[in-house]
Chain A
Amino acid sequence: MAPEAVLETVGLGVRYGETRVIEDISLTIPKRRVVAFIGPSGCGKSTLLRCFNRMNDLVPTARVTGQVLFRGRDLYAPGVEPADVRRAIGMVFQKPNPFPKSIFENIAFGLRINGFQDDIGDRVEASLRAAALWDEVSHRLDADALGLSAGQQQRLCIARALAVEPEVLLMDEPASALDPIATGRMEDLIGELRGGYTIVIVTHNMQQAARISDDTAFLYMGELVEYKETQRLFTNPEDERTEAYITGRRG
Chain B
Amino acid sequence: MSPGAPRGGRFDPRLEARRRAGVRFMWLCRLAVAFGVASLVVLLVSLAADGLPALSFEFLTSYPSRFPERAGVRSAILGSAWMLALVAVMSFPLGVGAALYLEEYAPTNRFTTLLKTNIANLASVPSIVYGILGLAVFVRFLALERSLLAGAATLSLLVLPIVNIAAREAIRAVPDSLREAAYALGATRWQAIRHHVLPAAMPGILSGTILGLSRAGGETAPLLIIGALTFIAFDPLSPMDPFTALPIQIFNWTTDPRGEFHALAAGAIVVLLGVLLMMNAAAILIRNRFER
Q: Which A residues have a C-beta under 8 Å from some C-beta of B?
A: 81, 83-84, 87, 113-118, 123, 126-127, 129-132, 162-165, 189, 192-193, 196-197
Contact = CB atoms under 8 A, between A and B. Distances in A.
B175 interface: no
Contacts of A123: 6, 9
Contact of A163 (B3, B6, B13): B6
B15 to A, nearest CB: 5
Contacts of A197: 5
6 contacts: A115-B13, A123-B6, A127-B5, A130-B6, A131-B2, A164-B11
Contacts of B19: 81, 83
A114 B5 contact: no
A162 B14 contact: no
Contact of B6 (A113, A115, A117, A162): A162
A192 B13 contact: no
B1 interface: yes
A12 to B, nearest CB: 25
A116 B10 contact: yes
B2 A81 contact: no
Contact of B3 (A84, A115, A126): A126
Contacts of A127: 5-6
A213 to B, nearest CB: 18
Interface of B: 1-7, 9-15, 18-19
A58 B192 CA distance: 36
A189 B13 CA distance: 28
Contacts of B3: 126, 129-130
B2 A193 contact: yes
A83 B11 CA distance: 14
Contacts of A115: 11-14
A84 B13 contact: yes
Given A130-B2, A162-B5, A165-B6, 5 more contacts: A87-B13, A123-B6, A192-B1, A192-B2, A196-B5
Contact of A83 (B7, B9, B15): B15
Contacts of A132: 2
Contact of A116 (B7, B9, B15, B18): B9
A197 B15 CA distance: 24
A130 B3 CA distance: 6
Contacts of A81: 15, 19
A165 B8 CA distance: 8
A115 B12 CA distance: 5
Contacts of B11: 114-117, 164-165
A50 B123 CA distance: 46
B5 A130 contact: yes
Of A127, A131, A192, the most chain B CB neighbours within 10 A belong to A192
Nearest to A163: B6
Contacts of B14: 115
A117 B13 contact: no
Pairs of residues from A and B, 4 with the lowest C-beta to C-beta distance, nearest first: A115-B12, A117-B10, A126-B6, A192-B2
A86 to B, nearest CB: 11
B261 to A, nearest CB: 51
Contacts of B15: 81, 83-84
